[in-house]
A and B are shown apart, each in its own frame.
Chain A
Amino acid sequence: MPLAESGPPMADRNTFRLMLLILGVVFAFLYIPISVLVGLSFNEGGLPTAWTGFSTKWYGALLENDDILKAAGNTLIVAVFSTLLSTILGTLLAVGVEIRRRNGKWLETVIFAPMIIPDIVLAIALLSMFSLMGVKMGLHTIIVSHVVFNLAFVCAVVRARLKSFDWSIVEASADLGGSTLNTLRRVVIPVLMPAIIAGALLAFTLSVDEFIIAFFTAGAGRSSITLPMQIFAMIRFGVTPEINALATLVMSVSVVALALSQRLNKGGLPGQ
């Protein structure tokens, strides 16, 4: 009988069946809508009303759509730069915070806030500031804005790893005459590397998908339209088969990034 080795007690077989049923229902709820989109993206006719045959023509249509390609390029630029910046800043922050240990409540709040602050509030706050300062908005303003929440997530992932960090190896390095920077570089960073990369992948995923802050802090012109902004515009103009294909592609990218991140950082789930 498949009893749990730990966790809540299993009264009997019926309870176990009930658990399976719950899982089935929840997973169906989570996956049916997504699967429908993926399925429809291969539907020749493109409409949800009838299956007219398998086709990849909507993917072909995407590749010929300059606006979407341009938006995808912009998204990549934003995601790569904001990920690099936030990974550096977030990792340093995590190491600093964990070494210091005695952190006041205000510090913890400032580090935690970007993860929980409503997107719309951060978005309009940044828009107001950029606007009042007369900053020209564009991809660069989206990037610096994305770093705000990204660095907090990187920091959280790296901190989780540091909780189980063996500080004695740092001491050993220091005893051997290593400078602080050298110790950091040669000892701390390599040990943390899986967590850092996991954090970076998480940041990348978040940045690729982020819409609200990008929408408000983007500048004029095609040059600062990201993929989610393009998707939003397309959805507003109705249900089209290209969106299904685009959605499937965007989803695949996120899934691959998340899967990689999970593999690298076993146990430390993002958001946990």
Chain B
Amino acid sequence: MSRHILRNGTGLIALLAAFATPAFADGLTVSNWDGYMAADAIDNFNSETGNTAELVLHATNEEIMGKLIASKGVGYDVVFVSSPFAEVLNNLGLAETLDHAKIPNIGNLYTEATTLSHDPGNTFSLPYAWGTTGLCYRSDLVDTPTSWNDLLKPAESVSGKTTMLATDRWLLAAGQLSLGYSVNETDADKMAEVRDLLIDAKGTLLAYDDTTFYAKLVSGEAELVQAWDGWCNYGIGENADIKYVIPEEGSDLWVDTMVIMKASENKDAAYEFVNYILDADNHRWAAENILYKVPNEAAMSGVDGGLIETFPNMGMAPADMLKFEQLRDVGAAQRDYSRLVSEIKAAN
């Protein structure tokens, strides 16, 4: 027995070495949020194009950014990230400069979606979904909120039953919008005001939550939450008393994008994939499954009218959305933002 173990030890190490040498001739690797594509999208793409794409999931922008920066983008081909993070990828030189000739379906996009401030002309990113950030609430349990202050300074009866997004930028945006500042404000004094407001708000929160806020509404754990419009729709789908509203102070215009990695070893397949997604039918299928608006005119014109009736925010016109400011990468000020968020989260 012991002899076998010792003798096999060398064989084992050889085996391990063989195993450890990268078996990375994998197919296309696409990273997206969970449930942010139709469940059959990857399979359909594979069977229609003969590719062997696989989908991996990230829970947050930050999580995938950490991985991408650590690996310098190696191992990923197409990633779905929000626009400020796409900007960072571009600034770090990790994003592929897009060759539009390989993406004929780019013509399906709304004109508004090709001139977005983070990337006019879609040089390094393609918009996948867009929308607003507002308040998602149980209309049977709370009065219709109208202002960000309904969330930040909640009525006694709602206190302890609200959640805010945990991600730095959207957390700060709630305070910035409430005070009438730009969602990209970096002035130290104004941001100190934002911080103080959010610290006060923290005392009334149930939790910071990026991923399960709609489930908390459904279960009744929470009654009023800061939410992305599309994700509020998941709650609406389970309980018709859940509603979405954009506060009177406004919202940001968020844009989730597809970025092809410069380090990709499957660029042709990557182009094929993004082009496949931008196809009118496929992108419509995505919208109908994930309940988010997509910036694809050809796709949106085909969306079932009943769906828009159930989920009113899906019917919002691009021109209305563009009234809101996009979150932008703030460069060096990001460190200040991180610090502010640390101060907020460390406060009692």
Contact present between A and B (CB < 8 A): yes
Which of the segments A105-113, A202-210, A217-225 contacts the partner chain?
A217-225
A136 adjacent to B22 (CB under 8 Å)? yes
Asked whether B146 is an interface residue with its Cβ less than 8 Å from the other chain, the reply is no
Scoring A85, A131, A185, A219 by chain B CB atoms within 10 A of each residue's CB, the highest score goes to A219
Which of the 9-residue segments B53-61, B179-187, B293-301 touches chain A? Answer: B53-61
* Residue in chain B with minimal CB distance to A130: B70
Measured between alpha carbons, how far is A225 from B75 in the docked complex, in Å? 14
List of B residues within 8 angstroms of A237 by Cβ: 34, 59, 211-212
Q: Are B20 and A219 in contact (CB under 8 A)?
A: no
Whether B1 lies near A219 (C-beta < 8 A) is no
Flag if A193 contacts B74 (CB, 8 Å): no
Interface with B: A18-26, A137-145, A151-159, A247-255, which one?
A137-145
The yes or no answer to A236 lying at the interface (CB within 8 A) is yes
Knowing A138-B24, A236-B211, A238-B212, say if A220 contacts B56 (CB, 8 Å).
yes
Cβ–Cβ contact A238 & B215, under 8 A: yes
Question: Smallest CB–CB gap between A28 and chain B, Å?
Answer: 26
A189 beta carbon closer than 8 Å to chain B = yes
Majority-rule SS of B interface residues: mixed
With the chains together, A96 CA to B6 CA distance in Å? Answer: 16
Interface residues in B, total, Cβ within 8 A: 32
Q: How far is the CB of A228 from chain B (nearest CB, A)?
A: 14
Contacts of B16 in A (CB 8 A): 81, 85, 140, 143
**A233 touching B75, Cβ below 8 Å:** no
Residues in A whose Cβ lies below 8 Å from that of B55? 222
Please report the C-alpha to C-alpha distance between residue A130 and residue B67 in the assembled complex, in whole angstroms.
Answer: 12
A/B pair count, beta carbons within 8 Å: 79
B94 → A minimal CB distance (Å): 13
* Chain A residues with CB below 8 A from B26, complex form: 221, 223
Q: Would you call A257 an interface residue if the criterion is a C-beta within 8 Å of the partner chain's C-beta atoms?
A: no
Q: Does B275 contact A (CB under 8 A)?
A: no
Task: Give residues of chain A (172-211) contacting chain B, Cβ–Cβ below 8 Å.
Answer: 185-186, 189-190, 193
Is B29 close to A, CB under 8 A?
Answer: yes
Closest to A192 in B: B2
Contacting pair B2 A185 (CB below 8 A) = yes
Contact A138 B22 (CB under 8 A): yes
A136 and B1 within 8 A (CB): no
* Nearest CB on A from B132, distance (A): 23
A51 and B58 alpha carbons, distance in the complex (Å): 33
Instruction: Name B212's closest neighbour in chain A (CB-CB).
Output: A238
Chain B residues near A40 (CB-CB < 8 A): none
Say if the beta carbon of A256 comes within 8 Å of chain B.
Answer: no
Quick check: is A76 within 8 A (CB to CB) of the other chain? no
The answer to whether residues A131 and B29 also contact, given A88-B9, A238-B212 and a CB cut-off of 8 A, is no
Q: Decide yes or no: A131 and B9 within 8 Å by CB, A140-B20, A222-B56 being known contacts.
A: no
Evaluate contact between B3 and A185: CB separation under 8 angstroms: yes
The residue on A at minimum CB distance from B70 is: A131
Q: Shortest Cβ distance from B159 into chain A, in angstroms?
A: 23
Asked if A220 and B59 make an inter-chain contact with CB atoms under 8 angstroms apart, the answer reads no
Chain B residues near A220: list those with CB within 8 A: 29, 31, 56, 67, 71, 74-76
Q: With an 8 A cutoff between CB atoms, is A95 at the interface? A: no
Nearest chain A CB to B184 CB, angstrom units: 28
In the complex, whether A258 has a CB less than 8 A from a CB of chain B is no
Contact (Cβ within 8 A) B56 A189: no
Q: Does B12 make an interface contact (CB < 8 A)?
A: yes
Contact partner, B54, options A84, A144, A222, Cβ 8 Å:
A222
Complex contact B12–A225 (CB within 8 A): no
Residue of B nearest to A82 (CB): B16
The reply to whether A137 and B71 contact each other, CB–CB distance below 8 Å, is: yes
Nearest Cβ on chain B to A13's Cβ, whole angstroms: 47
Minimum CB distance partner of A132 in chain B: B70
Q: Are B75 and A219 in contact (CB under 8 A)?
A: yes
Residues from chain A with Cβ under 8 Å of B75 in the complex: 136-137, 219-221
CA distance A177 to B153 in the complex (A): 85
* A267 CB, min distance to chain B CBs, angstroms: 22
Q: A131-B71, A237-B34 are in contact. Are A193 and B12 (CB under 8 A)?
A: no
Residues in B with CB closer than 8 Å to A130 are: 70
B211 engages A136 (CB within 8 Å): no
CA distance A153 to B1 in the complex (A): 22
Judge whether A127 is part of the interface by a CB distance below 8 angstroms.
Answer: yes
**What's the nearest-Cβ distance from chain B to residue A237, in Å?**
5
Additional A-B contacts beyond A140-B16, A185-B6, A223-B54 (18; CB < 8 A): A81-B16, A81-B19, A85-B16, A88-B5, A88-B9, A137-B70, A140-B19, A143-B16, A185-B3, A189-B6, A193-B1, A220-B56, A220-B74, A221-B75, A221-B76, A223-B26, A237-B212, A238-B212
**Residue contacts A-B, CB under 8 angstroms, 9 given:** A131-B72, A136-B74, A136-B75, A143-B16, A193-B1, A222-B54, A223-B26, A223-B54, A233-B59
Chain A residues in contact with chain B, CB under 8 A?
A: 81, 84-85, 88, 127, 130-131, 134, 136-138, 140, 143-144, 185-186, 189-190, 193, 219-223, 225, 233, 236-239
**Which are the 8 A-B pairs with shortest beta-carbon distances?**
A220-B75, A140-B20, A189-B2, A238-B212, A131-B70, A238-B215, A221-B29, A220-B76
